[in-house]
Amino acid sequence: MLIVIEGLDGSGKSTQVAKVREYLTGRDGQAPEYLHFPRFDAPVVGDMIARFLRGEFGRMEDVHPMIVALLFAEDRRDASALIRRWLQEGRTVLLDRYVYSNIAFQCAKLSSPEESAALEEWILRTEYEVYGIPRPDLNIFLDVPLSFVSGRLAAQREGSDREYLHGGQDIHEADLDFQRRVREVYLRLCRKDPAFLRVDCCGTDGQMPSAEEVFERIRKVL
């Protein structure tokens, strides 16, 4: 089974991925195989993706999103043989971001609905049909309050998954309005794909619930 967790930058996704890994280990009696995309150690494109996100190729709007989408797609194509082998061995595979991240973050950069729809179709065709990467059995979108995302992105975030920034800021994380547009694309994708499940991560007070409460909502759809 191939499970994907999606979410905005600063959404607490890494915390929930860790909880899902622990839950699947207990449920299945063995740890799931796991990958986080993008892989900054991926051959050729890993370093290029890191450099783009650090802003070394210019501002976000200076690089056409189709070019950026191709870099992320190449990363998944390189990993696809490994993912396919795990699935053939009967393993559960958990992925932190996958194709829908590519669509959400790149299509959010386009103001024209027609151009956005065309890029979405191009990404889906390139990744699933041309590259033939495995299709997920379950996609989960963690829909968190933008106020929570704003607070997380404004704070200094640390961890091994931030090393690619070399102490700088990810250009995708510098603009809260961009994250709002990314969320809109994610929600549209959830409405189109019945296998893409939105998990509401908003409390009754409009704020972010505890990590444990969010995980309970995720567990119900696993």
According to the annotation, is 80 in a ligand binding site?
A: no
Left if phi > 0, otherwise alpha if psi is -120 to 50, otherwise beta: which for 200?
Answer: beta
Beta strands in the chain (DSSP E): 2-7, 33-36, 93-96, 138-143, 196-200
According to the annotation, is 8 in a ligand binding site?
A: yes
CA distance 3 to 188: 20
Residue type, position 101, single letter:
S
CB atoms within 10 A of CB 54: 16
According to the annotation, is 14 in a ligand binding site?
A: yes
User: Which SS3 state, helix, strand or coil, does residue 62 take?
Assistant: helix
According to the annotation, is 10 in a ligand binding site?
A: yes
**34, containing H or E segment:** strand 33-36
According to the annotation, is 58 in a ligand binding site?
A: no
According to the annotation, is 46 in a ligand binding site?
A: no
CA distance 13 to 166: 22
Strand 138-143: give its sheet, edge to edge.
Answer: 33-36, 93-96, 2-7, 138-143, 196-200
Bind-site residues for ATP: 7-14
Bind-site residues: 7-14
